[in-house]
Amino acid sequence: MKELVKRLKQANVGTVLENEYMSKHTTLKIGGPADILIEPSSIEGIRKTIEIVMDNNVPWRAIGRGSNLLVSDDGIEGAVIKLGTGLDHLEEEEDEILVGGGYPIIKLSTIMSRKGMSGLEFASGIPGSVGGAVYMNAGAHGSDIAAILTKAHILFEDGTMRWLSKEELDFSYRTSILQRKPGICLEAVLQLDHGDREKIVNLMQKNKDYRKLTQPWNHPCCGSVFRNPLPNHAGQLIESARLKGRTIGGAQISDMHANFIVNVGDAKAKDVLDLIELVKMTIRQEHNVEMETEVELIGRS
């Protein structure tokens, strides 16, 4: 790893940190140390990072703002590439925008709504980045990123960069091709609509207020833990199984919304995993339904 760190720093790819605790970089505030964490300062910095990491046969993964992630207490082997400053550019041309993969999607939705641009209202409470939203086809309030995306600029681990269309990204419920073919969303082009600024801002506020009333953002959390096993809803199944408020260690199934697990006091990843397994077992026994996690479990097992 020392040689890899030396090469990354010599290449001036951006910030390079060793043994960096992922609890500093996840919305759950949980996670052991990554061997190396790199925050590239540009698209070229990411390209160089992938080239050097692959040349050293080191495993890697990309993250954005750390939502939708549960990182092992034992940390992450290899390199973590964090998209943030340097990948947070924004360009506007009429009703189309080009936005960097590290751009916060809440900030983007707020800016666009104030300009009277419609299409991102659903994202007003999603605490992730544009790249992460593309990776998992993030959505809420009946819409998702696939509904407004026209193409995305993807860096693959062989060093090639390609613009993929919406069709090529193969979006479905909370998934994209990037979950099957490793790549990093560098940029996205979104198609928005001109609308009534007051109506758009009011809808944004309504969505924000709804989240505040129904979701536990007063504690560190990762967003929805389970995918909805349609036609059922995960939160309703968990609540019907009387698991709302159940606590293991410092982790709790939220007493506000049962599909959220919150960190109520120095929770460990194991505490969260134990709650996840409790939910899976209970719902299987009581409803004969297999629960599938929406949160991504990463790191050393």
Residue 146: DSSP 8-state: G
**pLDDT mean over 102-118:** 94
Q: Which two tokens stand for residue 155?
A: 């860096």
Q: How far is CA 180 from the centre of its chain?
A: 16
CATH number at residue 182: 3.30.465.10
Domain containing residue 133: 90-213
User: Catalytic: 93?
Assistant: no
**If DSSP codes are grouped into helix, strand and coil, which group holds residue 300?**
coil
- Of the chain, the percentage scoring pLDDT greater than 70 comes to 100
How far is residue 162's CA from residue 138's CA, in Å, rounded to a whole number? Answer: 21
User: Catalytic: 239?
Assistant: no
Catalytic pick from 72, 224, 246, 254? 224
Q: What is the DSSP string of 97-143?
A: EEEETTSBHHHHHHHHHHTTEES-GGGTT--SBHHHHHHHT-EETTE
For 233-284, what is each residue's pLDDT tens digit?
999 999 999 999 999 999 999 999 999 999 999 999 999 999 999 999 999 9
Q: Are residues 96 and 201 in the same domain?
A: yes
Q: Are residues 169 and 235 in the same domain?
A: no
Residues 6+ apart with CB under 8 A from 138: 68, 105, 123, 126, 128, 132, 144, 145, 174
How far is residue 241's CA from residue 191's CA, in Å, rounded to a whole number? Answer: 42
Q: Are residues 125 and 139 in the same domain?
A: yes
* H or E element, residue 88: none
User: Exposed (0-12), middle (13-18) or buried (19+): which is 260, by Cβ within 10 Å?
Assistant: buried
How far is residue 76's CA from residue 59's CA, in Å, rounded to a whole number? Answer: 9
- The number of domains in the chain is 3
Please give the pLDDT value at position 21: 98
For 173-212, what is each residue's pLDDT tens digit?
889 999 999 899 999 999 999 999 999 999 888 888 888 8
For 59-76, what is each residue's pLDDT tens digit?
999 999 998 999 999 999
**pLDDT mean over 160-185:** 93
Q: Are residues 97 and 77 in the same domain?
A: no
Q: Are residues 119 and 70 in the same domain?
A: no
Domain boundary among 56, 82, 108: 82
User: Catalytic: 284?
Assistant: no
- pLDDT confidence band for 10 (50 / 70 / 90): very high
Catalytic pick from 23, 174, 246, 254? 174
**pLDDT mean over 79-85:** 94
Domain boundary among 48, 82, 116: 82
CATH number at residue 261: 3.90.78.10
How far is residue 80's CA from residue 172's CA, in Å, rounded to a whole number? Answer: 26
Please give the pLDDT value at position 204: 86
Please give the pLDDT value at position 31: 97
pTM of the predicted protein model: 0.91
Q: Are residues 199 and 101 in the same domain?
A: yes
pLDDT at 301 over 80: no
